[in-house]
């Protein structure tokens, strides 16, 4: 894939959850991508869908910072309280913010124990923490 439309995955997860309500869809999404189509979280809550949403919060468009413009302001985004958005859109979800592997493990266990609710796990990562393969591809 050379180019993907960011934000598409959020509404795809909505479609998956509607198509297979007996299964638990899992969405992995970046903070920048999520902000494009965040309102679909509201739709998920409206239909009482229960996906597990795992959002990587690295404070903006990290891949774009890697490609060009580490310090350019067009890669900065408004820092939302992602794990609390379910409270804004309704009160039938569950959310948590984590920053370590141990916290993530316990959040995943909790999402399992709260199967009757949409789970939103916000993972905080460093702004410039990119996969090695990406950095190699960009010869950095």
Between the alpha carbon of residue 7 and those of residues 10, 32, 107, the distances in Å are 6, 8, 24
Q: Which is nearer to ligand TPP, 21 or 69 (CB)?
A: 69
Number of neighbours of residue 125 by Cβ within 10 angstroms: 15
User: Alpha helices of 1-140 — where are they, by DSSP H?
Assistant: 8-19, 31-36, 39-46, 62-67, 85-89, 101-113, 132-137
3 state DSSP class of 78: coil
Site map 5..44 versus ligand TPP, x via CB under 6 A: xx-----------------------xxxx-----------
Site string for ligand TPP, 51-80 (x = CB under 6 A): -----x-x--xxxx----------------
**Smallest distance, ligand TPP to C-beta of residue 115, A:** 27
Please count the residues of this chain forming the interface with ligand TPP, following the rule CB under 6 A.
Answer: 14
Q: How far apart are CA 8 and CA 41, in angstroms?
A: 13
Q: Least CB distance from residue 66 to ligand TPP, whole Å?
A: 8
Query: Which is closer to ligand TPP, CB of 63 or CB of 108?
Result: 63
Q: Using the minimum distance from each CB to ligand TPP, give the nearer residue, 16 or 56.
A: 56
Say how many C-beta atoms besides its own lie within 10 A of residue 43's C-beta.
16
Residue ranges that bind ligand TPP, judged by CB under 6 A: 3-6, 30-33, 56, 58, 61-64
């Amino acid at each position: 894939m050379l180019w993907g439309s960011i934000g598409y995955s959020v509404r795809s997860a909505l479609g998956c959850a509607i198509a297979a309500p007996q299964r638990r869809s899992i969405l992995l999404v970046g903070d920048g991508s999520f902000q494009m189509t965040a309102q679909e979280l509201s739709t998920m809550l409206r239909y009482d869908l229960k996906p597990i949403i795992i959002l990587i919060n690295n404070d903006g468009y990290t891949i774009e910072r890697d490609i060009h413009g580490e310090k350019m302001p067009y890669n900065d985004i408004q820092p939302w309280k992602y794990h609390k958005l379910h409270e804004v859109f309704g009160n039938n979800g569950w959310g948590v913010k984590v920053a370590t592997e141990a916290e993530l493990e316990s959040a995943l266990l909790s999402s399992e124990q709260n199967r009757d609710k949409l789970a939103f796990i916000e993972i905080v990562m460093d702004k410039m923490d990119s996969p090695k393969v990406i950095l190699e591809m960009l010869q950095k």
